[in-house]
Amino acid sequence: MTSIRPLARRVPLVAATAACALALAACGSSDSGSHSGDGSPAKPASSPSARVPSGGHNAADVAFAKGMIPHHRQAVEMAGLAATRASSPRVKEFAAQIKKAQAPEIRTLSGWLAAWHEPVPAEMPGMDHSAHSGMPGMKGMEEMAALKKKSGKEFDRSFLEMMVGHHRGAVKMAGTEQDKGAYGRAKTLAADIIRTQSVEIARMNKLLGKG
């Protein structure tokens, strides 16, 4: 009987000692990721992604989205005129394709800006894009108003000539994004714009008799 009592006292003591050791080990392992050996906060490991702003984008991506939205809006407006003013079925079909392609891209670009907590460019009243007139390929109010007054073959030629210049501007903007952007999806969209609009430029020049 005398040998049982010391053993009973040692069992909880051993258990408590083991629990304390486990607790100390856990504390040591959790602190090792946030402190250096001298007790000061440890610096996070550097990586290429750590140098990229939140969301994996940079200022060039934001500028691309903010610029391409009004640029696409104007192209959609120009294309919308063709339904009632163009005489060539091929011009009407081409204009419808532009609207179909660029309207969803506007929504995509707007979604990126919202996710990045950046303001989406406001839509200008009517055909007023004067705030963005400095962008490559953008047309002024006078050019847009003149196009709106035309119809038939005169409209067809003016529309195609203006859209060629507009597309060239978009290709230039997309090239800047590819060179300076960081966001993968934006760079992919830029590549798509360069590819598709370059093909469309060639098609429009052919319709104009220049191809």
Residues 133-151 pLDDT 10s: 568 899 998 999 999 999 9
**Per-residue pLDDT for 54 more than 60?**
no
Structure tokens at 32: 């090792």
With a pLDDT cut of 90, the percent of the chain lying above it is: 65
In 115-196, the DSSP E strands lie at: none
Q: From the CB of residue 34, how many other CB atoms can be counted at a distance below 10 Å?
A: 9
Confidence grade of residue 127 (pLDDT, cut at 50, 70, 90): low
Average pLDDT, the chain: 79
Q: What is the mean pLDDT of residues 155-167?
A: 97
User: Is the entire prediction scored with pTM above 0.85?
Assistant: no
Per the CB < 8 A criterion, the answer to whether 19 and 25 are in contact is no
Mean predicted confidence (pLDDT) in 72-86: 95
What's the CA gap between 142 and 132, in Å, rounded? 14
Residues counted in the chain: 211
Count of CB atoms within 10 A of residue 39's CB? 7
